[in-house]
Amino acid sequence: MGKVLALAIIGMGGVLAGCSDASPRWSPSSRGSSDVQTNLPESVAYGWSRPVTVTAFPDATKKLGNADTMIDGHSLQAIVTDATVRVRGDDQPCSTCHDWAKTMSRATFCERVPAFLALPTAKGDGHDDVSAKPLVLKDLLDRWHAAGCPD
């Protein structure tokens, strides 16, 4: 997937910058409250500390680019904060480019999701803008955010 950086949340305190107008934009679903919830809705059976599974999110087995690890079996907290979890297309942890990722909380990450969703969507053709995000991650985070960012 070329330069796709999965969960490298650009434009929200990240090191890298820039968006290409040529990249397609993604439209998140309509949401209710963005307040962080503590309950886990049936529609989202994963969360900040509850691992993503293929049952809850069928695309969880897709590896992004050169990633060593797939999303399946990892919580969003592990994906974002754990330096040993490398689901990004460049096979690096989020904290490689984003110092803030190391200490991210559920509530703070929930606040950052809309900016992540607003970034260009990766086409996966090797010509994506450095800030482009894979559709699979946008879907994963949109569902989580729409459910109130459950734990």
Q: Is the pLDDT of residue 11 over 70?
A: no
Looking at residue 15, what is its pLDDT? Answer: 31
What's this model's pTM, rounded to 2 decimal places? 0.71
For the chain, the average pLDDT equals 75
- Rounded CA separation 91/69 (Å): 8
Helix (H) or strand (E) holding 80: helix 76-81
Question: Do residues 46 and 54 lie in contact, with contact meaning Cβ atoms separated by under 8 Å?
Answer: no
State the SS3 of 7-71. Answer: CCCCCCCCCCCCCCCCCCCCCCCCCCCCCCCCCCCCCCCCCCCCCCCCCCCHHHHCCCCCCCCCC
Q: Which pLDDT value is given to residue 81? A: 92
CA distance 33 to 148: 7
Write out pLDDT tens, residues 25-67: 344 443 333 333 344 444 689 999 999 999 999 999 988 888 8
